[in-house]
Amino acid sequence: MITSLKPLLKAAQENNFAYGAFNVNSVSQIEAALRIHEIFNSPMILQGAELANAFMSGKNDFKNASFEEKVKGMKIMADAFYKITEKSKIPSVLHLDHGSSFEICKAAIDAGYTSVMIDGSSKPFEENIEITKKVVDYANKHNVSVEGELGVLAGVEDQVFSKTSTYTNPLDAVRFVKETGVDTLAISYGTSHGANKGNNVVLRKEIAIAVNECLHHEGLDCALVSHGSSNVDPYMVKQINDLGGDIKNAGGIPIPQLQQVIKSGIRKINVDTDIRLAIARNTRELLERNESLLDDKYVKMIDQRLKENPKDFDPRYFMQDIIDTMITGDIPTDSLQEVIDSMKDAVMEVCGRMIVAFGSNEKYKLLDI
């Protein structure tokens, strides 16, 4: 069952829980994510950022994709998502993560995305309001929900690098939500994207509290979103490094801190890095324990990529030679099937852990759809 984010937000606001929103980059990741949401009876939010859509267009060099290639990939992503989720009992949302322009958000809506983010956070405040409002106006006509962002996260945000984080100003948040009409607002309060969030991160949870309270005082019904929220489990990082990886200065957001901010109106918690790490760990482990798999030409290429660049843990890098399988779900050999199965296990492990931690398990029947 496919829906916008709106009914999911209503259920979460009324019952005080949050959803993990999981980034996916292949057909089998969508399948695995749905399976684990079905097992836990949780509504599902999957998301693709512009680069994920670029990869889904079949372009190995996805970081240099054109607008047209991203749009092509959006259609492939949306078609796969509909095919896989449509008949499930689970209400499922396909969300565009970090849309950078009105045109890309419009293309996502036209391709079938049921929710979009317009990330104007690096623009001047007035410009951010203007572009976000334009997206909301278009999205409203198509029953699509919209996420805006105010404040800048530290770290790498869709190729935009900001060295310092500018936390969200709660008073600006009120004006932003009033003038744009967004359904959700991503705030900056100490999280950051990627695997290097710092040692012992302490979230500025008072920012989430203040934004939430200010919005309520003004009668504004807008849920908050936490980007850059991966846990970056040190034991998982150690396993990757013990298996030949080279991930340095890893650090993430402890889950208890995220559970704290759910009480302050955070309803959507974005997780991408943890899924990438789990896939890298599972793939490395599988190949180390089953050398005979390397007789398969596809698996061999994955192994070579892992060895060639031990710092990279993005499956779009080490699985680029099987991009056809990633975007179609067609798996040519039994050995490659084992690799894909271990990737699915990784997606299920991370999503399952977050579904339970954030409390969306068993909530699928609360939705008014």
Q: Which stretches of the chain bind ligand 13P, using CB under 6 A?
A: 23, 97-98, 193-194, 227-230, 270-274
Which option in Zn ion, ligand 13P, ligand G3H, none does residue 108 bind, with CB closer than 5 to 8 A by kind? Answer: none
Rounded least distance, CB 147 to Zn ion, Å: 10
The β-bridge partners of 154 are 192
Interaction with Zn ion in 268-327: which residues (CB under 5 A)?
A: 270
Q: What phi, psi does 164 have (nearest 5°)?
A: -120, 155
| Binding of residue 312 to ligand G3H (CB under 6 A) | no
Residue among 69 and 272 whose Cβ is closer to ligand G3H: 272
Distance (Å, rounded) from C-alpha 345 to C-alpha 326? 15
Query: CB neighbours (10 Å) of residue 221?
Result: 11
Interaction with Zn ion in 202-261: which residues (CB under 5 A)?
A: 227
140-144 long-range contacts, CB within 8 A, separation 24+: 140/181, 142/109, 143/4, 143/114, 144/4, 144/109, 144/113, 144/114, 144/115, 144/116
Tell me how far the alpha carbon of residue 305 is from its chain's centroid: 24
Identify the burial level of 234 via C-beta atoms within 10 angstroms of its C-beta, where 0-12 means exposed, 13-18 middle and 19 or more buried: exposed
Rounded least distance, CB 21 to ligand 13P, Å: 7
Dihedral Cα 24, 29, 31, 35, nearest 10 deg = -90
Which option in ligand 13P, ligand G3H, Zn ion, none does residue 51 bind, with CB closer than 5 to 8 A by kind? Answer: ligand G3H
Pattern 124-143, ligand G3H, x by CB under 6 A: --------------------
Interaction with ligand G3H in 33-62: which residues (CB under 6 A)?
A: 49, 51-52
Exactly one of 70, 98, 197, 305 binds ligand G3H (CB under 6 A); that residue is 98
Rounded least distance, CB 33 to ligand G3H, Å: 15
Helix, strand, coil distribution of the chain in percent, nearest 5: 55, 15, 30
Residues serving a catalytic function are: 97
| Binding of residue 65 to ligand G3H (CB under 6 A) | no
Which option in Zn ion, ligand G3H, ligand 13P, none does residue 106 bind, with CB closer than 5 to 8 A by kind? Answer: none
Can you give the binding site for Zn ion, defined by CB under 5 A?
227, 270
